[in-house]
Chain A
Amino acid sequence: MSGGTSQDVAIRGNTVTRIIIHVVLFLFAVYYLLPLWVMLVNSVKPLDEIRGGNMIATPQHWTFEPWLQAWSQAQIGVQATGLKPYFLNSIMMVVPAVAISTILGALNGYVLTKWRFKGDGIVFAMLLLSCFIPFQIVLIPMARVLGVLGLAGTIPGLVLVHVVYGLGFTTLFFRNYYAAFPTELIRAAQIDGAGFFRIFFRILLPSSAPIIVVSVIWQFTNIWNDFLFGASFSDVDSVPMTVALNNLVNSSTGVKEYNVHFAGAILAALPTLIVYVLSGRYFVRGLMAGAVKG
């Protein structure tokens, strides 16, 4: 969709239809923005103002106490550490997982398009199908294998899980991108005397910036936002952000501190939102590539 322009089909209506169209689009915008607004305004309100007041109104008393609470003081699990350590856990999990899965995906895509061999179609089909499996089907054996490998409840264990189940996507991205990359370039480089890795690093990789961005964003968003694997395979000191947020919001004890919950939710959403704002174009491209295979 990036770069596309409206075509000459505009419903040639009068001013009234144009106004209606704009009003409808505006109402949809309100619908999409409402939850974000609710989270934002209520994260800077004292608790009694939420309980007694209007949830969509701006605060009468501004307070950043909920943010401090959520970040470093809230009771999550046994200790009152706030979300900070879990935020760091997520970062330590996401960075290597994104890097490894993207590198492997790039190499796979390179082989699957430019160094084809008998049976490579089956390998690709297997990778592609792995994008769709419900992860419930791997939870039980994965728990055992992580135990055997000594990675149960550790961040490296989570990295492994996310690399494995992200490979299909990253391979798909790079395969589709490199498929459109002229094979004649590879041949020219062969005649020039470059080998497998030199062709990759000197010819393909320098032209791969857009798809690297797509792959990194996709993997970052998915891994950061993952809940199921985090909930299944983490231990006290490796719990990722999403799981910690859920523990914060859904712990049944004590008073419900909505403002802290909202501040925490924004903290959990912030990294992916920032990535989205900075690179929305590539984000959409990743979504599309994930949807329209082949």
Chain B
Amino acid sequence: MASLTIRNLKKNYGAVEILKGIDIEIEDGGFLVLVGPSGCGKSTLLNTIAGLEDITSGDILIGDKSIAGLHPSKRDIAMVFQSYALYPNMTVAKNIAFGMEMRGVSKAERDKAVADVAELLQISQLLDRKPSQLSGGQRQRVAMGRALVRDPQVFLFDEPLSNLDAKLRVDMRTEIKRMHLRMATTTVYVTHDQIEALTLATKIAVLKDGELQQFGTPDEIYNDPANVFVAEFMGSPSMNMLTVPVEEDAKGLFLTLTRAGGDALRLPLPASAAMKARIGKPVIFGLRPEAMTDPASADRQGAEILEDQFLVDVVEPAGADVFAVTVLNGTPLTARMKPSARVKEGEMAPFALNLSRAVFFDPDTQVRLR
């Protein structure tokens, strides 16, 4: 087992830049999730780590050994593919053993390793079947078995859960997490699903257009986003955002929010240097739905809470939560409330806004203002 380091990695297809200088380092035993919208370069990045695609410049190291230029089979990695990529003509056992067969491992050793992995993944009864006879979840397990049996330095996962139905996806997610806790093998995992990223990762790298937007722990990424893109991409429903000019009066800096119906609401701002520099100029004000809730659900520990009455525009019950939409400055904002709040469409209801969790961005550069 070893750490994985990606240094100023660039990848071009002709004149098109796919990866524009990526720097990532993940510690031994870490779980790195590459997340971003389709076309952001996350799968390309994974493929360059696997050696399935060339890099244009930069370096990739496992431990302190550069693997750039090595054949995929010589990098001491294992990969689980989106389509599972099980060899259709081979049985499950043969699928798992194929890599060992290629490396010239003896039949007896192969059989033992296959049996061990099969037991670990509870697929022993499937060993003689062909992939076409397996369900989606079973295929997923076999694909993991094929990777596990290599006992590699680094595991690579390319959107391994995207072909499963919703229920199974959650189960397998837990299983992957459990497996990682047990094996403690360095892992790189690609997904476009931000929930998967948040639940699995020890470190998340958010990518967009071949550029690293932010690299940090799930907590940093979620609560301390570096820019508008990261803030919007992570979290569901998305972070509420409003573009409002910064104003100043005797009591300090503030924003004015106009409620549906026309009356204004004063929103005090922290008196940071960055904010002062924006006086008279707009900022993007961002607040996550769970920081905008009914007074009873508000997390008041050390928080600055603003309570007031808001007109409820739409109510979307979602079982455990109720999403209440209210309109501020002509923009709909979503609040996450407990069903016990009993808000009704077209009526006023009390909202508690946790201003300690508000984040601000520069509308021109999209970068966070601190």
Contact = CB atoms under 8 A, between A and B. Distances in A.
Chains A and B belong together in one complex: yes
Interface of A: 182, 184-185, 187-194, 198, 202-203, 206-207
Interface of B: 47, 50-52, 71-73, 77-79, 81-83, 85-90, 98-99, 102-103, 146
Which has the most chain B C-beta neighbours within 10 Å: A187, A188, A191? A191
A184 B83 contact: yes
Contact of A192 (B47, B51, B102): B102
Nearest to B147: A191
Nearest to B158: A184
Contacts of A206: 89-90
Given A193-B99, A198-B102, A187 B79 contact: yes
Contacts of A193: 73, 99, 102-103
B72 A184 contact: no
B50 A191 contact: yes
10 contacts: A182-B85, A184-B81, A187-B52, A187-B79, A188-B85, A190-B71, A191-B52, A191-B77, A193-B103, A203-B87
Given A198-B102, A207-B88, A207-B89, A191 B72 contact: yes
Interface of A is mostly: helix
A128 B106 CA distance: 45
B4 to A, nearest CB: 16
B48 to A, nearest CB: 12
A187 B73 contact: no
Nearest to B71: A190
Contacts of A189: 87, 98
A203 B81 contact: no
A58 to B, nearest CB: 50
B78 A191 contact: yes
Most buried by B among A189, A192, A194, A202: A192
Contacts of A203: 87, 89
A190 B89 contact: no
A172 B86 CA distance: 26
Given A191-B72, A191-B77, A206-B90, 16 more contacts: A184-B81, A184-B82, A184-B85, A185-B85, A187-B50, A188-B87, A188-B146, A190-B52, A190-B72, A191-B50, A191-B79, A192-B146, A193-B73, A198-B102, A202-B87, A202-B98
A75 B171 CA distance: 79
Contacts of A185: 85-88
Contacts of B98: 189, 192, 194, 202
> Which interface residue of A182, A185, A187, A189 has the most chain B CB atoms within 10 A?
A187
Nearest to A209: B89
A206 B88 CA distance: 9
Given A187-B52, A207-B88, A192 B83 contact: no
A193 B98 CA distance: 9
Nearest to B53: A187
Kindly name the residue among B77, B78, B87 whose own CB sees the greatest number of chain A CB atoms within 10 A. B87
A207 B99 CA distance: 19
B364 to A, nearest CB: 42
A182 B83 contact: yes
Contacts of B87: 185, 188-189, 202-203
